[in-house]
Amino acid sequence: MPTILQQVDAFTDRPFSGNPAAVCWLDQPREDTWMQNVADEMNLAETAFVYPEQDALRLRWFTPLVEVDLCGHATLATAHALWQQEPFAVEPLLTFETRSGMLSARRHGSMIELDFPTAPAFEETPPAGLLESLGITECIFCGKNAWDWLVEIDSAEKIRQLNPNHAMLAPVTSRGVMVTARSDDPRFDFISRFFAPAAGLPEDPVTGSAHCALGVYWSERLSKNTLSAYQASRRGGSLEVEIRNDRALLRGHAVTVARIELVV
C-alpha cells in the first residue's frame, strides 16, 4: 500500500489560509530519521505522523528541523484527515498518545475541538535582546512557560506591523515567542503572532499550542472563560479557546487542499 500524505489547512474554513500541516497515516512506525526527512521535504510548519500503537493511536509532530512536544494545528489537521477515512469516519472522539500525554479531538458542530493541557506563562524579566529583536521598547507583560515567551503590548496595530530580527531572536528563545494584544476587531477578544526561528519557523501562521498559554492569560485579564482569537500572520487564522480548570479547549475548522503519495 502506498503511503499517503494529506495536506490540511487548519484553523480556517478557507483553503490557502490558516496553518498548513501534512498528515501521514502509517500502518506501523517508521524510523525517526525517515520521519524527520519527510518533514524536511514537506517544508511545512509541522508534519504529523499517526500510527496504531497497541490499542491506541500514537501521534508525533515534526518541524523541518526537530520533533516537538506539542502542536495544536497539526493535531486538528490529523483529526480532520482521519475523519475522512475508514474506520474513523463514524468516530465522535479520537484520542492520541503523544509526548505531552493523552490528547483528544471531538466534533463540535462544524468545528473540531481539541482537549489540551493549559500551559500558563509566569511573569519573568525579558532576557537581553528579546524585546529588541521584536522591535519593541516596552511591554505590558512578559512571561514564560516551558516552551515559549509571552509578551503583551499595547496595540493590535503594532502586532500586525511587527517585523522581528529573527537572527537576533533565535538565541534568546527555547522554542518561540508569542506577542499579543487586545483585539481592535469586535469579532475577537485578542490577537497574536508567533515567531519560532529557534525551531526553524520564522513565523508560524496559527499556533494552537500557544493558545494554551494565551487562553489562560486572556481569560484572567478579561474575566471570561471562552474567547475568540485571531492570529495575525500573513495567512491568518481564527480559533475559539475555552479554559476549563487546567484544560484548554481549542476549536477550529480545517480544509483539505492536497493528497500526496510517497514513493520512498
Burial class (CB in 10 A: 0-12, 13-18, 19+), 239: buried
Q: DSSP character for 229?
A: E
Peptide bond preceding 117 in cis form (omega within 30 of 0): no
Q: 77, 21 in Cβ contact below 8 A?
A: yes
242/224 Cα distance (integer angstroms): 9
Sign of the Cα torsion 152, 154, 160, 163 reads: negative
Q: 172, 130 in Cβ contact below 8 A?
A: yes
Quick one: cell of 64? Answer: 523541518
Alpha-carbon Rg for the chain, nearest whole angstrom, is: 18
Q: 93, 104 in Cβ contact below 8 A?
A: yes
Which active-site residues does the annotation give? 46
